[in-house]
Amino acid sequence: MARQSLVDVACCISLTIIFFLLIAQPSQAADLATLLKSNYVKVEKVNDLDDITVSINQQRVTVRLASVIAISDLPVKEGLRLPRFRKETLDAVKSLLLDHEFFMRIRKNPEDDRVTAVDLYRTGKHVTKQMPWTGKLPSEKVGWGMTSMNILLIEKGLTISSGKEHGNQLERIKLLYKDAENLAAKENIGVWGNLPRGFREVTKQ
C-alpha cells in the first residue's frame, strides 16, 4: 500500500509539473482567437516585431505586429554594422512596448479565418504626461484618444510598412502607414539613415 501511495504521489507531481510547463509556453498566434476574451494584453517579451509575447487571460501568446517589417528583415545599406543596428533598434522598440498594457485587435485571413497578426493600441486610459495624445500624428489618427503602436513604430523610424495585411481597414487608416513613413523619412530618423541607396524612391511609388 505504501509503495502504491508513493507511485500515486509521484504521478500527481509529474502531471502537475507537465501542466505548469504547458501553460508557461507561449501559444501560437493561430490560437489567439480562442484566447481573446479580453482585448487588453501586457507585452512580456519582444524578440522582434514578428515575435512578441503577450499575456492574455493568464496565458502567454506569441503574436506578430501587422503591416510592419520585422527588424531582422529590414533592408540596410552595405557596410552597416548589422548586429549593432538591430540591437539598438530592438532596444528602442522594447522601450515602447515591453511591460506595457495595450488594447489589441487581431487580423484574420479572410479565406480561412485564421489569425495572422495583431494591432496594438494605447487608449485613453494610457494617456499620461509622459505619453500624451494630441491627435495630430499619423499614429494618433486611428480613433479618439487612441495611438496605433504599429504606426508609431514607423513614425519613430524603427521599422517600415510592409504594405500588407491591411485587410478590411478603412482606406484612411491604410494611408496613415504611408504618412508615418513619410514623416520618418523627412526627419531622416532611425532606419531611414541606414536604408539602401534608392530605397526612398522605391517606397514613394
Segment 40-55 mean pLDDT: 95
DSSP the chain: -HHHHHHHHHHHHHHHHHHHHHHHSPBPGGGHHHH-SSSEEEEEEEEETTEEEEEETTEEEEE-BTTB--GGG----TT--HHHHHHHHHHHHHHHHTT-EEEEEEEE-TTT--EEEEEEEE-GGG--SSS---S-SGGG-SSTT-EEHHHHHHHTTS--B-S---TT--HHHHHHHHHHHHHHHHHT-GGGGTSPTTHHHHHH-
- Whether the pLDDT of residue 44 is over 70: the answer is yes
Q: Which residues pair with 60 in a beta bridge?
A: 55
If you average pLDDT over residues 57-68, what whole number do you get?
89
CB 56 within 8 A of CB 36: yes
Q: What is the pLDDT of residues 115-141, one digit of tens each?
A: 778 999 998 777 777 778 888 999 999
| CATH code of the domain occupying 28-204 | 2.40.50.90
**16-20, 110-114, 136-140: which is most confident:** 136-140
With a cut of 70, say whether residue 143 has pLDDT above it: yes
More confident residue, 102 or 79: 102
What nine digits make up the cell of 111? 479565406
Q: What is the pLDDT at residue 158?
A: 96
The answer, yes or no, to whether residue 66 has pLDDT greater than 50, is yes
pLDDT of residue 109: 73
Residues 90 and 71: beta-carbon distance below 8 Å: yes
pLDDT for res 134: 86
Q: Which of 39-43, 48-52, 56-60, 88-92 has the lowest mean pLDDT?
A: 56-60
Per-residue confidence at 15, pLDDT binned at 50, 70, 90? very low
pLDDT of residue 29: 46
Interatomic CA distance for residues 196 and 50, integer angstroms: 22
Which among 88, 65, 69 has a CA at the least distance from the CA of 148? 65
| d(C-alpha 132, C-alpha 39), whole Å | 22
How high is the pLDDT of residue 200? 56
Amino acid letter, residue 92: A
What confidence category does residue 181 fall into, taking pLDDT thresholds of 50, 70 and 90?
Answer: very high
> Residue with C-alpha cell 508615418?
180
Higher per-residue confidence, 176 vs 131: 176
